[in-house]
Structure formats: structure tokens, C-alpha cells
Structure 1
Amino acid sequence: MSRRVKNPTGMRVLITGASGTIGLALGRRLVEQGAHVVGLDVAPRGDEGFEVIACDLTDDDSVTTGVPRALDLLGGLDGLVNNAGIGGPAPAEAAPGAEVRRQLEINLLGTWRVSAACVDALVASRGRVVMVSSRMAVMQLPLAAAYGASKRAMVAYADALRLELGTHVGVTCVYPSATRSPIHDSTAAAGLSLEGMSTYEPLEGVVDAVERSLLSVRARRDVPTTRKGAVEFFVARHLPRVTDRIVLRTLADRARSGAFDGAALAEGVVARHAEEVSR
């Protein structure tokens, strides 16, 4: 990424999911550098070190109340970081239920609601939008279809926003791999841990990438967070069959090793791989 970056001093930034792992670290860093930061979160901690407004991104009224309040506190808006997101177990072979709808509501529609509410302020300042997407937006992992689908849809929304606002507003998507945070707890509790399917990366590097995307003079379209991530991003985009083979082989190894034993949502995967071994 270009080394040309803006001075964050005085920059007005709104961060969603501001009390979570990435949002909190980013907000505190920007405040230390002199930025004026306000956050939105469904459950503010109270010790963030910057103002965080309680806001449920799945609720239209909550967003239409919370965002204007945030913009009033900021006195305008130079940068929006759509960071709020949740994960959870959701096999593609199972009919979509409450878990799938919850992830789509927050990861996709929550991002859409907040961005739409910020358009006028961003256009006025010729500002920047940063979407914290996921490597799974381009490289889907099994048993987590809702998360990958919601993040890929988030990127499609970002592309549309870029085309509509591109004369005045930069829109960048950032693609972290897994970072250690409570977002993975429900997946692990269902016996579908990402351990072995995805490599965890340091939080610091993710925050670096989001910060550079927010402050860069020229907006990048897509920003992986590590060199390994950049390679994975390229292969997934241009050689998808290679990515599929790698993921399928890893899934088979985990299924046959007993990693999913006792996980009801993975019963189909385990049974099919056991059948292949017995043939």
C-alpha cells in the first residue's frame, strides 16, 4: 500500500462494532493519534476510551437514531469503518434458519443501513468508507456458509457503493483471516472450530491494514492484511479450482481425524467422508 497517508489529527471517524476486538483496538489507536472517534455497538463496554453509542444494527429505528447522534457528536464525518460482524455455524446443506438470518442482518444489512445513513456526511467531506470483510468473502470455508455469503455480499454492496459515490467517496474492502476473538465462540461450541481450517493472524496487523485503508491518500479497492493473505486472495480470485482443492483436502483430513466427532451440524460431512474411505 502507498506510504502516502493523511494525518489522523482531527479526523472524524465512526466505527461500528466499536466495543469488539478489532473495533476497540482501532478506535483506541486513532484516538491516541488525535482523531475524533465515535463508535456504535449493541453492547458498549463503557471503558473504550471514546464515546460509544448503544445501537442495534439490525433495527432500522436504532440506526436512524444512533447514526445522527454520532454525526452530531463528531461534527461531520471523514471516515466510516464498517467493522461490526458476527460468525456462527451454518452448513450450506441445512435449510437457513435464525442463525443464518442473524448473520445476514448484521454483516450485510447492518452495514448497508449504517452506510446509507452516512452518505450525505461522507459526500460533504469527500470521505472514506472501509469495510472490514473477510478472507472468506473470496475463499469460502465449509460449515460456515452464512458468514462467507454475508461477507461476499458485503463486498458486492461495497462495489455498488463505490460506483455510486466514487466521484466523492473512496470505498475500500479489507480482508482479514481469522483473528482470536469471541466471534468464533459459537462455532467452536458447535464443534466446528476453525482450528486447522484457517490460520489465525495477529490483531495488530489487521488494525494496521484498516488504519492504512482509512488514512491513505488514494483509496485502494481491496486490501489483504498479510502477505500470505495477499497470495490466498490472488489464488482465490484467479485460480478458484486450486483453492477448492486445498480446502476440500483440509476438510477431508479433519473429518477423518475425528475433529468433528459429536458435532451434529457436521454429521453429513463426516458420513460422506467415511463412505469415501470405505469404498
Structure 2
Amino acid sequence: MARPVRDLLSGGRRSAAGLRVLVTGASGTFGRALCTRFTELGATVVGLDLAPNEDDTVEVLPCDLTDDADVASATAQALERLGGLDVLVNNAGIGGPAPAELPPGEEVRRQLDLNLLGAWRVTSACARALTDSRGRVVMVSSRMAVLQLPLAAAYGASKRALVAYADALRMELAGHATVSCVYPSAVRSPIHDSTAAAGLSLEGMSTYEPLEGVVDTVLLAALSRRVRRDLPTTGKGAVEFFLARHFPRLTDRIVARTLTERARAGVFDGAELAAGVVRRSRRTG
């Protein structure tokens, strides 16, 4: 949906000038772009990241989101620097290969801990400041929260669980702070590197979208006068979101057929984690 139309449907946008914003994963692809845009619009921004960069565009505090004590300490520092909080963007996340048919190992635990519990830790540490300002929480979820792709079960499960957490949080904070979820599709970034290295690239199963559209949608969630609950980032994403929620059998068939076709074409040959998919595709071929 074109930005002017989205703005109109949201009742326009409030000014970002003077808003106090905290962004997790601030040194990554999404985070750097978000921090830059919020700053350009006049907001005061502090970031959290496991490994801040020397050239970060805002102050980024080192923080391991999987560590309770580290989150408590870094978040307290961020809130002190900001003098309160108006917008929390839970952006940090990781992906990686995790076929659903295999036992959950360290890779699965790592993704669930960061993508779900990391956001939970930071949000709980910010809850008082957000309710004091009647602020907003923006969860950067994923299209895979509603339309799961195979061979990446941990990522989809973590993002679907993140939405469930957002739903509970929305009810608990109702009238005092708001919660919105943003659903990007695939954006070219290092988050896909480990999956590609394992021979499980989802190229051909997902269409890449521009980073700018994701940033614009997060800004819409944070700044629109009418609070939005769920925000896909593209028109195609909105269609996928609708179909996955209302016609799940249809989307299941489409994804399963595409996976089988790719396996038969040899895309996953040599990928140990996809051996079961390859074997079954040949059995039904």
C-alpha cells in the first residue's frame, strides 16, 4: 500500500520530534536503518546490541538479550540516558536452519531465547516507563509468524510465539500503552547466511522486499495517530497474511508443493539437514 494512503488510513502521523526511542538489534541491518530514520525525524534514540559497531549512527549499548542480568543493566542505562521511553522497537532477531522433523538442539534454543525471550526481557524492563508515557511497543515479527516455511521451524515458531506474547501484553497494558506487530517478508541481510551455508536456502520460496518498506512500516506503527495492531510490510505480504489466516489449507498446499518441486530439482542435494525432505520427494516423484 502506498505510503500516503497508509498515512491517511491511520489518521496521519504524529511528529517524532522529541520522542524517546529504544531499538534492539540496533547495529544490524534493520536496526541501523531504523535508528537513522528515527533520528532524522527528530527522535532521541538509544540502541541495544550484542556487538555494537564503531560507526553506529546512535549510541548503542552492548547487551546480550539472552542474559537476564545484562538486559536489566543495559535497559536501565538506556532509560536513564533517554529520560524515559515513548517507543520500544523489539527488532533484534536471528535465523538459522532448523527442520521441524529433527530434535531441537542448540540452534533451536538460541533462536527461541533471543527472538522470543529477548524481546520479553527487554519489554518487561521497559514496561513501567512505557506506561508512564502511554508509549508504544513495536514488535518486528515476520511473515513466517502466520505463513511458516519449511526447514526453518525455530524461526517461525519464535516469531509466532512473539505475536502471542504481544497479544497478552496488549491486553495487560490496555489503556496505558499500545502494542503493534510488523510482519516483514524476506529482506536481504546476514540473517539468512547460516541457512544458506547449511544448503537450505529458501531462494525461490520467498520474494525479497526492500528494506525501506520495512522501516516505513515500523515508523507507521510507532507514529500513526490511529494505533495499528498488525502491519504487513507490502501489498503482497498483506495478501499472504490474509490467506494464511483465513485459508491455511491453501497456503499449506502451495508451500508444500513448492518445497517438493525444489527438492526434486536437486536444490537440497548434499544438505544433511534436508535429507528427509529429499528422500520423501523422490518417493512421491
On whether the aligned pair clears a TM of 0.5, the verdict is yes
Asked if 1 retains the 8 angstrom alpha-carbon contact of 2:88 and 2:136, the reply is: yes
Matches within 5 A, 1:242-257: 242-257=250-265
1:206-233 superposed Cα distances (whole Å, 9 cap, x missing partner): 0000011011112111000000000000
Asked if 1 retains the 8 angstrom alpha-carbon contact of 2:87 and 2:135, the reply is: yes
1:3 is displaced (CA, Å) by: 4.5
Asked if 1 retains the 8 angstrom alpha-carbon contact of 2:11 and 2:226, the reply is: no
Equivalent in 31, 51, 70 of residue 43 of structure 1: 51
| TM-score normalized with structure 2 length | 0.96
| TM-score normalized with structure 1 length | 0.98
Whole-Å separation in 2 of the counterparts to 1:230 and 1:3: 20
Whole-Å separation in 2 of the counterparts to 1:212 and 1:64: 28
Give the match for residue 103 of structure 1.
111
Give the match for residue 149 of structure 1.
157
User: What runs of 5+ residues in structure 2 fail to find an aligned partner?
Assistant: 1-5
Deviating beyond 3 angstroms after TM superposition, the runs of 4 or more aligned structure 1 residues are none
Are 1:233 and 2:241 an aligned pair?
yes
Are 1:221 and 2:221 an aligned pair?
no
- The letter for the 1-side match of 2:276 is G
Equivalent in 118, 123, 133 of residue 126 of structure 2: 118
> Please, what is the CA RMSD of the aligned residues?
0.6
Are 1:158 and 2:177 an aligned pair?
no
Asked if 1 retains the 8 angstrom alpha-carbon contact of 2:263 and 2:281, the reply is: yes
Asked if 2 retains the 8 angstrom alpha-carbon contact of 1:177 and 1:199, the reply is: yes
- The letter for the 1-side match of 2:114 is I
Query: Percent identity over the alignment?
Result: 70
Asked if 2 retains the 8 angstrom alpha-carbon contact of 1:131 and 1:174, the reply is: yes
Matches within 5 A, 1:73-84: 73-84=81-92
Whole-Å separation in 1 of the counterparts to 2:77 and 2:232: 32
Equivalent in 175, 179, 183 of residue 171 of structure 1: 179
Are 1:137 and 2:121 an aligned pair?
no
User: What runs of 5+ residues in structure 1 fail to find an aligned partner?
Assistant: none
Are 1:204 and 2:212 an aligned pair?
yes
Equivalent in 191, 201, 206 of residue 199 of structure 2: 191
Asked if 2 retains the 8 angstrom alpha-carbon contact of 1:137 and 1:149, the reply is: yes
- The letter for the 2-side match of 1:275 is R
Whole-Å separation in 2 of the counterparts to 1:194 and 1:70: 37
Asked if 2 retains the 8 angstrom alpha-carbon contact of 1:5 and 1:215, the reply is: yes
Whole-Å separation in 2 of the counterparts to 1:22 and 1:121: 24
- Number of aligned positions between the proteins: 277
1:194 is displaced (CA, Å) by: 1.5
1:61 is displaced (CA, Å) by: 0.7
What SS is found at the alignment partner of 1:53?
strand
- The letter for the 1-side match of 2:60 is V
Whole-Å separation in 2 of the counterparts to 1:264 and 1:93: 13
1:6 is displaced (CA, Å) by: 1.0
Asked if 2 retains the 8 angstrom alpha-carbon contact of 1:28 and 1:48, the reply is: no
- The letter for the 1-side match of 2:29 is T
- The letter for the 2-side match of 1:54 is P
Whole-Å separation in 2 of the counterparts to 1:211 and 1:221: 14
What SS is found at the alignment partner of 1:81?
strand
Give the match for residue 3 of structure 2.
none
What SS is found at the alignment partner of 2:284?
helix
Whole-Å separation in 1 of the counterparts to 2:108 and 2:142: 17
